[in-house]
A and B are shown apart, each in its own frame.
Chain A
Amino acid sequence: MTSKSSRNARWGLIGSYVVLLLVSLLYIGPLLMLVNTAFKTLPEFYQDPIGLASSFNFDNFTEAWELANFPQYMFNSIIYATVATVIFVITSVFVAFPIARGHIRGARALLTLYVVALFLPPALIPQFQLILNLNLYNTRQGYILLFLVNAIGMIVLVNYIKSVPKELDESAAIDGCSYPRFVFKIVMPLIKPAIATVTVLHAIGIWNEIILPTIYLTNSDLYPITRGLVVFEGVYGSNWPGLAAAVLMLALPMVILFLVLQRYIISGLTGGAVKG
């Protein structure tokens, strides 16, 4: 009986590797194609799209960087992502903490307010009218304003704080420090995984956003890098190697951020209840 079940287990493992082989082809294949294309010259690409690049030719990168006004777009994206994420995370911890601890009346109702957002109709149109009437259409401030809230991020923070024993922050609170100081010095360090998760997910969301910049930003000096890339794509539509180089430059900062903070993300998402 043991031999039969161990034989089954072996077949299970072999089956797993077969599935993973297919998965690798579909997940690594497109990435390899992208990197390979970015190093090709245009004639080389059109002659044989899937052949290996003949040399490490960085011309596409320098060309895309200069042609497409990339430094400006990159700067804009960094500003949008950092400013909005910092404001969002700080204001949200001050909302999530009293809700999770029940320090305020109607804590449950407030949390519900965030949960129902998942079901509500998209805010797209009234939001546009709001920004228009605030005179913030086509401005950096107006664009940043759109990213100062995130219902899912709030729910993640509340759930995580609930999983931290009350005694940890309450015992630290007695020695007479002010409330904001208490939140910054005691609460935030206790919920680091959740803050890392929410920061990464929110910043990545802003970095990758494409719909809102096409609605709110018409001045190309204000474009984030995604919008710049789509415009670049319209102009250099058939220059796949140039586009591939630009796409790689767009992806790199977020991939690095993700790999650095990856360890925190899963434990942050699951309320710290996860083993290894």
Chain B
Amino acid sequence: MALVNKQYLFGRKITPVLFLLPGLLLYLVIAFGPSLATIVYSFTDASGIRGAVVNWIGFENFDEFLFRGVASRDNLDALKRTLQFMFFVTALQFGLGLLFAVILNQNKLKGRLFFRTIIFMPVILGVVIQGFLWKLFLLPRGGPMAEVWGWFGLQSEFLGGTDAFWWVIFIQIWANVGITMVIFIAGMQAISDELYDAAKVDGASGWQLFKNVTWPQLTPAINTNFLLNIIGSLQAWALFLVTIGYKNGTQVLGYLVYAEGFGQTSGSVTSSFRQGYAAAASVVLFLLVLVLGLSANWFVTRREMKYMG
């Protein structure tokens, strides 16, 4: 009897829905809902202090952020810097990820697994350790990189100097190229050997094999990496936090949102929490992600139609 009952329950359409609800509700309440609510907050003067009155102030935050505020000049610089960061990180991470994947997908190469593992390792170590490793390696007095610089008669303050922004770009790529590489390798391994064999019979050289077989067949991995790199680099900022802190001339939008929203604008000293204003900044970042993400998506879809028909 009990058995029949259970069977009945399982057979009913409602059972899977009931068990799906906890996960779905958690997602809606903790992640999806708050994401959308950011847009609502951007039109208010919310402060982050409990019990404070929240007023609807229309586009004032946006107006202040982009045009009227004392900091609007700096904000526009941060916006430009965010785009710069995205451009260099995406281009180099994509290119190097592909190069590493091509190299480490050769069966003849010894130590393939070892190299894949060390390139992927920073992803496992996380941003605090990534930052620490490079602060140590880039020690301006007597560190290994300073030593190498010295061979060429050069000197740099690295993360403490005027080039700090570019060093963070370098660390960002170093830390995340492993993900790009792994996605490319997985894509390459899904390509059937027969395609290569057929091309070789036709006398194709290494470069021609890459151009005519690998590159078109790799389309899904190319699309994934292209989109992930663009969106990821627009939103990345934790490395700035751990390597150089909130310093003029290096801020990107993501860091700005955090600093304004949680009062970290002057080092670790808590100043004011301007959460409505910060929400407006994150909406600006969101629009950037949306526009660039959708254009990238349009671009890759067109490319896909060309190759995949």
Q: Which residues of B contact A27 (CB under 8 A)?
A: 118-119, 121-122, 174
Contact A23 B136 (CB under 8 A): no
Q: Which residues of A contact B37 (CB under 8 A)?
A: 123, 126
Nearest-CB distance from B208 to chain A (Å)? 11
Q: Which residues of B contact A254 (CB under 8 A)?
A: 124-126
**Interface majority SS (helix, strand, loop, mixed), chain B:** helix
Q: Which residues of B contact A176 (CB under 8 A)?
A: 3-4, 6-7, 10
Closest to B185 in A: A266
Q: Is A164 an interface residue when CB atoms closer than 8 A count as contact?
A: no
List residues of B (85-107) whose CB comes within 8 Å of A's CBs: 99-100, 103, 106
Q: Is B71 an interface residue when CB atoms closer than 8 A count as contact?
A: no
A-B contact count (CB 8 A): 261
Q: Is B167 an interface residue when CB atoms closer than 8 A count as contact?
A: no
Q: Interface with B: A55-63, A68-76, A145-153, A188-196, which one?
A: A145-153
Contact A149 B31 (CB under 8 A): yes
**Interface majority SS (helix, strand, loop, mixed), chain A:** helix
Q: Interface with A: B73-81, B141-149, B156-164, B298-306, which one?
A: B141-149
Q: Is A229 an interface residue when CB atoms closer than 8 A count as contact?
A: yes
Contact B115 A95 (CB under 8 A): no
Q: Is B117 an interface residue when CB atoms closer than 8 A count as contact?
A: yes
Q: Which residues of B contact A114 (CB under 8 A)?
A: 27
Q: Is B20 an interface residue when CB atoms closer than 8 A count as contact?
A: yes
Q: Which residues of A contact B139 (CB under 8 A)?
A: 49, 240
Q: CB within 8 A of A125: which of B3, B115, B206, B279?
A: B279
List residues of B (226-279) whose CB comes within 8 Å of A's CBs: 231, 235, 238, 241-242, 254, 257-258, 261-262, 268, 275, 278-279
Nearest-CB distance from B211 to chain A (Å)? 15
Q: Which residues of B contact A158 (CB under 8 A)?
A: none
A residues neighboring B (CB under 8 Å): 1, 5, 8-9, 12-13, 16-17, 19-20, 23-24, 26-31, 33-34, 37, 48-50, 91-92, 94-95, 97-99, 103-104, 110, 113-114, 117-130, 132-133, 145-146, 148-149, 151, 154, 173, 176-180, 182-183, 204, 207-211, 214-215, 226, 229-230, 233-234, 240, 243-244, 247, 250-251, 254-255, 258-259, 262, 266, 269-270, 273-276
B residues neighboring A (CB under 8 Å): 3-4, 6-7, 9-10, 13, 15-17, 19-20, 22-24, 26-27, 29-41, 46, 48, 50, 99-100, 103, 106, 108-109, 111, 115, 117-119, 121-122, 124-129, 132-134, 136-137, 139, 141-144, 147, 174, 182-183, 185-186, 189-190, 203, 205-206, 231, 235, 238, 241-242, 254, 257-258, 261-262, 268, 275, 278-279, 282-283, 285-286, 289-290, 293
